[in-house]
């Protein structure tokens, strides 16, 4: 599995719900986690390796977790501005404003359901990764001024991705 880079159309697709919590899923989660650590990421979503399933892994500093079929059911009114990056958009960082916390329902790798509030850093990661499952990238959520500034760099990444 290789990381898909900006310009690859798979990053813009909407992923399908995962329905089988079997050995294949467990192997996939293991591989996804390995790639995340290898590339020094704090999160990695299935579409970033070309698999259109609603699955992501992350590590907020307390060990890796796998999140399956996440739904954000509540967001805080309070917003925070935090710098984000993405393994699919190498060497690009920008401030993004998002809710400070989210309440999310999801399944674990065994299909068991959970409901949890993700706050601060973990809240930020799960929002970024959930976006990937809907074909949304963090550069879609930055200010227009910053978008204009980053455009040459993003275009260069897209050109490289196409070759």
- Beta strands 64-75 and 55-59 are antiparallel
Number of chain positions touching Co ion (CB under 5 A): 1
Nearest C-alpha neighbor of 47 from the set 138, 108, 133 = 133
142 is a contact residue toward Co ion (CB under 5 A): no
Q: How far is CA 59 from CA 37, 49, 126, in A?
A: 9, 18, 10
Of the listed pieces 3-11, 63-71, 78-86, 105-113, which binds Co ion according to CB under 5 A? 78-86
51 is a contact residue toward Co ion (CB under 5 A): no
CB of 6: closest distance to Co ion in angstroms? 10
- Beta strands 43-45 and 64-75 are unpaired
CB of 110: closest distance to Co ion in angstroms? 25
Nearest C-alpha neighbor of 141 from the set 80, 94, 88, 78 = 94
115 is annotated as an active-site residue = no
Nearer to Co ion among residue 49 and residue 86 (C-beta): 86
CB of 126: closest distance to Co ion in angstroms? 12
Nearer to Co ion among residue 51 and residue 86 (C-beta): 86
140/116 Cα distance (integer angstroms): 26
42 is a contact residue toward Co ion (CB under 5 A): no
CB of 85: closest distance to Co ion in angstroms? 8
Strands of the chain (E only): list them: 43-45, 55-59, 64-75, 79-86, 89-99, 101-107, 113-119
Of the listed pieces 10-18, 82-90, 119-127, 153-161, which binds Co ion according to CB under 5 A? 82-90
86 is a contact residue toward Co ion (CB under 5 A): yes
Catalytic machinery residues: 129
Binding site for Co ion (CB under 5 A): 86
């Amino acid at each position: 599995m290789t990381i898909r880079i900006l310009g690859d159309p798979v990053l813009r697709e909407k992923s399908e719900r995962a329905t089988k919590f079997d050995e294949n899923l467990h192997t996939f989660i293991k591989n996804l986690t390995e790639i995340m650590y290898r590339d020094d990421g704090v999160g990695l979503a299935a579409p970033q390796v070309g698999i259109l399933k609603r699955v992501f892994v992350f590590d907020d500093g307390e060990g890796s977790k796998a999140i399956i079929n996440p739904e954000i059911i509540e967001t805080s009114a309070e917003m925070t501005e935090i710098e984000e990056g993405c393994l699919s958009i190498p060497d690009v960082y920008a401030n993004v404003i998002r809710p400070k916390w989210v309440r999310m329902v999801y399944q674990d790798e065994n299909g068991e359901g959970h409901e949890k509030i993700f706050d601060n850093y973990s809240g930020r990661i799960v929002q970024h990764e959930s976006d990937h499952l809907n074909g949304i990238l963090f550069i879609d959520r930055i200010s227009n001024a910053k978008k204009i500034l980053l455009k040459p760099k993003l275009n260069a990444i897209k050109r490289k991705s196409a070759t």
